């Protein structure tokens, strides 16, 4: 399933229609008919997203949103609000209460589904960063204090100077951040020592059709700007372009004739989220370098992996999801050290670590837990998907020889992998038992001839 969505609407027909549409897009749905029921279900079930009508029978949907955001248990759940009234004051109130988006009825299914995908992707990334942050805290690393927040840099990228000037003049009364008018070429130019913009506001159609989307894709591919927030400005009714922009990585969509106060509010929301993500990334990188990495390969070490696996198991139990755990061991590694020396053995380990990292997602865990032993954990993966990943990792090690240092040529290396699946259940998930299951599967792979993937009994 694509995620669990709580549909909160007092009209049963509306809930049923949305359930059918979301089910066809592979979302799991649950329903609530009142504000009180919405709050209770959100607390009890922790959905991935809440689709909330502004008009509820017992309280305003905006008040429901405000209460959700005030509760530590539910505050991180994204809320998308829906209303039949094209009332800008109501829309601004909903956004101000913490809603991620507000849609008018009737809903455009293409844009709605694209927006849900975009929000859920962002939530998954933020959730994983937060999970790693908690792991570090559990290991005794103090939370650093927040420094002074400089004004954000907001780039206004449109094809003509008059439009850039107009947007800057209209937004300036609502923002204390630095507004920078840019031509498209300037957005891609080397900033010459200046920090890159925190937010890009890009006209969807620059010098030619689709130019804004190509610019956004280019910004996403560059090191200096890939973490910047991108808001794409669209004419009303451009549903296909809107969906494409979201699927290509836009953080938000802005209608070209939107009120400046709404545009400024959306920009401030993106600045806040980017700074939170930046802070998490910086903290994690610093702490990783301190004590959580293997000095040879740069991967996580056993200490970090053990703590992070425990938290991954906790989350799996809370959400009812599964995760995959595998142990990978290089075949006959002692022979490499004995024959070619430890420098060659180190070179093999470094290259294998690089190949494994290149074939895993950012949310996956890869650690070196022993001399030639690696651990891989894949959140939200079942047996079939995890087996395919394990085979891909095995081939990555075996398919190409590893170059050895000091002119010693190259060497073919293979690996054996033991795989098991962590299942959510009433009794909880024992990480120790899962690790032993993967380790036994690894031994079976070695015994049966090496260079293969073996599945632990608990996963079969």
* Residues identified as active-site: 372
Q: Is 369 helix (H, G, I), strand (E, B) or coil?
A: coil
Name 454's bridge partners. Answer: 418
- Using an 8 Å Cβ cutoff, are 266 and 200 in contact? no
* Helix residue ranges, H only, 76-225: 88-96, 109-138, 161-171, 184-188, 211-221
CA angle 424, 427, 433 (to 5 degrees): 75
Strand order in the sheet with 323-330: 365-368, 373-379, 323-330, 415-422, 453-455
- Tell me which residue of 205, 281, 209, 216 sits closest to 247, measured CA to CA: 216
Tokens 């248990």 correspond to what residue? 73
Buried b (16+ CB within 10 A) or exposed e, 215-246: bbeebeeeeebeebbbbbbbeeebeebbbbbb
List Cβ neighbours of 404 (8 Å cut-off, separation of 6 or more).
340, 344, 347, 348, 410, 411
- DSSP 8-state assignment for residue 459: G
The conformational region for residue 137 under phi > 0 = left, psi -120 to 50 = alpha, else beta, is alpha
Tokens 């599945």 correspond to what residue? 455
- Using an 8 Å Cβ cutoff, are 326 and 366 in contact? no
Tokens 């806040």 correspond to what residue? 272
Task: Look at strands 153-157 and 323-330 and give their pairing.
Answer: unpaired
- Tell me which residue of 95, 88, 29, 13 sits closest to 61, measured CA to CA: 95
Per-residue CA distances from 278 to 227, 275, 330, 397 (Å):
8, 5, 36, 33
- Using an 8 Å Cβ cutoff, are 126 and 153 in contact? no
Report the alpha-carbon distance of residue 42 to residue 230 in Å, rounded. 29
Report the alpha-carbon distance of residue 183 to residue 116 in Å, rounded. 31
- Tell me which residue of 135, 404, 450, 97 sits closest to 287, measured CA to CA: 135
* Helix residue ranges, H only, 323-382: 333-340, 342-358
- Using an 8 Å Cβ cutoff, are 49 and 72 in contact? no
């Amino acid at each position: 399933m694509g995620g669990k969505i709580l549909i909160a609407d007092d009209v049963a027909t509306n809930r049923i229609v949305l359930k059918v549409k979301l089910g066809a897009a592979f979302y799991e749905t649950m329903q609530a008919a009142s504000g009180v029921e919405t709050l209770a279900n959100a607390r009890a079930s922790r959905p991935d997203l809440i689709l909330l009508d502004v008009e509820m029978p017992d309280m305003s949907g905006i008040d429901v949103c405000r209460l959700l955001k005030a509760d530590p248990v539910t505050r991180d759940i994204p809320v998308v609000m829906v209303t039949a009234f094209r009332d800008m004051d109501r829309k601004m109130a909903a956004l101000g209460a913490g809603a991620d988006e507000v849609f008018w009825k009737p809903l455009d299914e293409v844009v709605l589904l694209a927006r849900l995908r975009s929000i859920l992707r962002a939530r998954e990334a933020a959730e994983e960063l937060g999970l790693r942050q908690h792991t570090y805290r559990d290991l005794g690393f103090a939370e650093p204090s927040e420094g002074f927040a400089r004004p954000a840099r907001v780039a206004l990228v449109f094809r003509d100077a008059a439009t850039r000037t107009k947007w800057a003049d209209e937004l300036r009364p609502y923002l204390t951040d630095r507004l920078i008018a840019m031509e498209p070429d300037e957005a891609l130019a080397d900033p010459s020592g200046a920090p890159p913009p925190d937010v890009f506001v890009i006209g969807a159609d620059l010098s030619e059709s689709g130019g804004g989307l190509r610019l956004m894709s280019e910004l996403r591919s560059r090191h200096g700007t890939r973490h910047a927030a991108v808001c794409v400005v669209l004419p009303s009714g451009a549903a296909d372009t809107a969906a494409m922009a979201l699927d290509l990585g836009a953080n938000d969509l802005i209608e070209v004739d939107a009120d400046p106060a709404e545009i400024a509010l959306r920009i401030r929301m993106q600045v806040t989220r980017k700074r939170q993500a930046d802070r998490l990334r910086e903290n994690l990188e610093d702490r990783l370098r301190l004590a959580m990495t293997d000095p040879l390969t740069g991967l996580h070490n056993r200490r970090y992996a053990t703590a992070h696996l425990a938290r991954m198991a906790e989350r799996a139990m809370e959400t009812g999801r599964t995760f995959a755990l595998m142990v990978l061991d290089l075949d006959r590694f002692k022979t490499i050290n004995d024959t070619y020396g430890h420098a060659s053995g180190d070179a093999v380990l470094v290259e294998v670590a690089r190949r494994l990292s290149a074939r895993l997602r950012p949310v996956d865990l890869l650690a070196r837990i022993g001399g030639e032993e690696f651990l891989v954990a894949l959140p939200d993966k079942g047996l079939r998907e995890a087996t395919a990943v394990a085979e891909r990792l095995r081939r990555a090690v075996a398919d190409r020889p590893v170059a050895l240092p000091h002119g010693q040529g190259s060497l073919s290396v293979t690996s054996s992998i033991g795989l098991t699946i962590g299942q959510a259940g009433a009794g909880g998930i024992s990480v120790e038992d899962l690790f032993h299951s993967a380790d036994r599967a690894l031994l079976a792979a070695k015994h049966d001839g090496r260079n293969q993937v073996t599945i632990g009994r608990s996963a079969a």
